[in-house]
Amino acid sequence: MTEPQPLRVAVLVSGSGTNLQAIIDAARSDDLPVRIAAVLSDNPDAMGLDRAREYGIPAIAIDFHGCTDRATYDRQLRRQLADLNPDLVVLAGYMRILDDDTVNDFAGRMLNVHPSLLPAYPGLHTHRRVLEAGEDWHGTTVHFVIPELDAGPPVVQYRLKVHPEDTEQSLRERVQAGEYQIYPLAIGWIADGRLVFADGGPQFDGKPLTQPQIIDADY
């Protein structure tokens, strides 16, 4: 009998890559049956690329600012991903908008983590906007990626109560602590075959997933 093969994942990062680190740690501890085929970045200085190199994971930079135009960058990234042919593409703090062709190449095989309880607060500066609006609840969402920004079907959310003393920085830290739990969890569901994208939407344990799974923070 042949051994089940680990899920081959490509991770896209733009910055520090702490979510990437959580995924690397989970994979190394055997909690997550994935192999990270490569880490790619639009930013050659991204710390996430250094994290990859430290573990012998191929680190590929496509310098966005070194490209003559947006279409050139998009083409290069799309080609790199096609060459890698991963089972799953994971956006982990990747701060560029992907072109529709690249998203469609990986329809149902691309995840993102976004720091809000989607559909609330798509876009940037979510922690600040949540504080300014006086929200009681905040959190973060892992969702399948579709061409429309931050609008793909959510899979799992980490939810926390906003404390009166919270600042943008404390919210970022509390939200990210949740991301380190829910991102490896969601990737693991895909690796285990529990979460699939079929018939136009996510299915979990054979049933349509109409609402994301919710993990509540314990403080």
Residue span 152-191 as binding mask against ligand GAR, x where in contact by CB under 6 A, dash where not: ------------------------x--x------------
- The three-state secondary structure class of 95 is coil
Among 12, 81, 90, 114, binds ligand GAR (CB under 6 A): 114
Candidate list 65, 114, 125, 138, residue with the active-site label: 114
Among 6, 8, 15, 168, binds ligand GAR (CB under 6 A): 15
- The three-state secondary structure class of 43 is coil
Question: Apex CA 163: angle with CA 159 and CA 164, to 5°?
Answer: 150
Please name the residue that has the structure tokens 């060459």: 83
Query: Could you tell me whether strands 137-144 and 110-114 are parallel, antiparallel, or unpaired per DSSP bridges?
Result: antiparallel
Among 16, 170, 181, 213, binds ligand GAR (CB under 6 A): 16
Q: Does 24 bind ligand GAR (CB under 6 A)?
A: no
- Is 114 known to be catalytic? yes
Q: Using CB atoms within 10 Å of the CB of residue 136, give its burial: 0 to 12 exposed, 13 to 18 middle, 19+ buried.
A: exposed
Residue of minimal Cβ distance to ligand GAR = 93
User: For residue 173, what are its two tokens?
Assistant: 């830290």
Q: Does 138 bind ligand GAR (CB under 6 A)?
A: no
Among 11, 12, 40, 113, binds ligand GAR (CB under 6 A): 113
173 Rama class: left (phi>0) / alpha (psi -120 to 50) / beta:
alpha
Rounded CA gap, 57 and 11, in Å? Answer: 11
Segment contacting ligand GAR (CB under 6 A): 9-17, 32-40, 200-208, 211-219? 9-17
Q: Is the peptide bond before 202 cis (omega within 30 degrees of 0)?
A: no
List of residues contacting ligand GAR (CB under 6 A): 13, 15-19, 92-93, 113-115, 140, 176, 179
Active site amino acids: 114
